[in-house]
Amino acid sequence: MAGIPLAGLSLAACGSAGPGSSSASTGATYWSLTGQPQEGIRQATVERFNAANPDSTIATTVFQNDAYKTKIKTALGAGEAPTIIYGWGGGGLRTYVQADQVEDLTDWFAQDPQLKDRLFASSFAAATVDQKIYAVPCEAVAPIVLFYNKALFAKVGVQPPKTWDEVLALVPAFNSQGIAPFSLGGQSRWTNMMWLEFLFDRIGGPELFESIYAGNKDAWNAPASLQALSEVQKLVKANGFIKGFSSITADSNADQALLYSDKAAMMLHGAWTYAQMKDSAPDFVAKDLGFVNFPTVTGGKGDPSNTVGNPGQYLSISAKASDTEKDVAKKFLSTTLLDTTEQKAWIDSGNIPVVNGSDSLIGDSPDAAWLQFVYQTSSQASTFVQSWDQALSPASAEVLLDNIAKLFQLSISPEQFATSMNAVLGQ
Q: What are phi and psi of 163, to 5 degrees?
A: -135, 160
Outline where 336-427 has alpha helix (H): 340-348, 368-379, 388-391, 394-408, 414-422
- Res 14 pLDDT > 50: no
**Is the bond leading into 37 cis (omega within 30 degrees of zero)?**
yes
Q: Is 366 helix (H, G, I), strand (E, B) or coil?
A: coil
To the nearest whole number, what is the mean pLDDT of the chain?
92
Q: Are 153 and 290 in contact (CB under 8 A)?
A: yes
Within this chain, domains 13-139+312-361 and 143-308+387-422 share the same CATH topology: yes
Cα→Cα distances 426→133, 258, 361, Å: 20, 38, 42
For the domain 13-139+312-361, what is the CATH code?
A: 3.40.190.10
Outline where 25-182 has alpha helix (H): 38-52, 65-77, 90-98, 106-111, 113-117, 150-156, 164-175
User: Residue 293 is which amino acid?
Assistant: N
Average pLDDT over residues 399-405: 96
Calpha distance 400→417 (Å, rounded): 9
User: Residue 283 is which amino acid?
Assistant: D
Q: Count CB-CB contacts under 10 A for residue 172.
A: 13
Read off the pTM: 0.89
Give the model confidence (pLDDT) of 360-396 as tens digits: 999 999 999 999 999 999 999 999 999 999 999 888 9
Give the model confidence (pLDDT) of 270-309 as tens digits: 999 998 999 899 999 999 999 999 999 999 999 999 999 9
**Helix axis angle, 394-408 to 223-237, nearest 10°:** 40
- Res 161 pLDDT > 90: yes
* Residue 301 CA, distance from chain mean position: 23
Q: Are 296 and 148 in contact (CB under 8 A)?
A: no
Domain ranges of the chain: 13-139+312-361, 143-308+387-422
In the DSSP assignment, the letter for residue 13 is E
Q: Are 147 and 290 in contact (CB under 8 A)?
A: yes
Q: What pLDDT, on the 0 to 100 scale, is given for residue 1?
A: 54
- Res 399 pLDDT > 80: yes
Calpha distance 100→220 (Å, rounded): 29
For the domain 143-308+387-422, what is the CATH code?
A: 3.40.190.10
Q: What pLDDT, on the 0 to 100 scale, is given for residue 6?
A: 37
Q: What pLDDT, on the 0 to 100 scale, is given for residue 88?
A: 93
Sheet bearing 28-33, strands edge to edge: 13-17, 58-63, 28-33, 84-87, 313-317, 136-138
Give the model confidence (pLDDT) of 23-74 as tens digits: 344 799 999 999 888 999 999 999 999 999 999 999 999 999 889 989 999 9
Q: What pLDDT, on the 0 to 100 scale, is given for residue 295?
A: 98
* Residue 15 CA, distance from chain mean position: 27
Q: What pLDDT, on the 0 to 100 scale, is given for residue 65?
A: 86
Calpha distance 358→118 (Å, rounded): 10
- Res 423 pLDDT > 60: yes
Calpha distance 396→215 (Å, rounded): 11
Q: Is 241 helix (H, G, I), strand (E, B) or coil?
A: strand
User: Residue 214 is which amino acid?
Assistant: A
Give the model confidence (pLDDT) of 311-339 as tens digits: 999 999 999 999 999 999 999 999 999 99
